[in-house]
Structure 1
């Protein structure tokens, strides 16, 4: 982004790819994302996952859920599960092992550091 620029994050068209088979826990989830801005300080973008469940290893990020619902379970380190709904703000540390179960397509805006 340069100067003043508006991004309509809810309507942003994303290119989807199937989740790699070794990460799929249930269903046939797909993910898509678009970078909004990137610099040496990190990346800002929009990410979406379709209904299903997948394993992931997290990066250091803060995100805000824009639409959908999901449960994030923590495998390592153990932590109570998170119930994500629009308006949820979450901070994740790099290296956390998680399982994302998406109940309604989940769209978030993220800031990676």
Structure 2
């Protein structure tokens, strides 16, 4: 069990985004699960500059650093930066465009 972690400094191993998800550039992502709370997992996720499509899970997140936009298939559009807090619904189709490496803390269940 992890009780306290400096989420902005956690070391993450990155993998290239799968080719079928790449929209632009050569983004990579890294994540680490830190633990669970009830039936939810919490952890840290990061993406380097570029754009990728995704199908979301139920998630609550807080951006620690970086800049990105999230475009939703229904036309909604978010601009994210440090301190941005968002809730994603399972099944939502998105395109994440990161202009400065983005790191977030997430809770998903």
> TM-score range, shorter-chain basis?
over 0.9
For 1:80, the equivalent position in structure 2 comes to 76
Tell me the distance in 2 between the aligned counterparts of 1:65 and 1:40: 23
Tell me the distance in 2 between the aligned counterparts of 1:91 and 1:40: 18
What is the aligned length?
A: 109
TM-score (normalizing by structure 2): 0.96
- After superposition, give the CA deviation of every residue in 1:32-86 in whole Å (9 maximum; x if it has no partner): 00111036612000000000000000000000000000000001xx142000000
For 2:104, the equivalent position in structure 1 comes to 108
CA RMSD of aligned residues (A): 1.1
Deviation at 1:6, TM superposition (A): 1.4
Structure 1: any 5+ residue segments left out of the alignment? none
Structure 2: any 5+ residue segments left out of the alignment? none
Structure 1 residue ranges, 4+ long, deviating more than 4 angstroms after superposition: none
Match runs of 1:23-62 below 5 Å: 23-38=21-36, 41-62=39-60
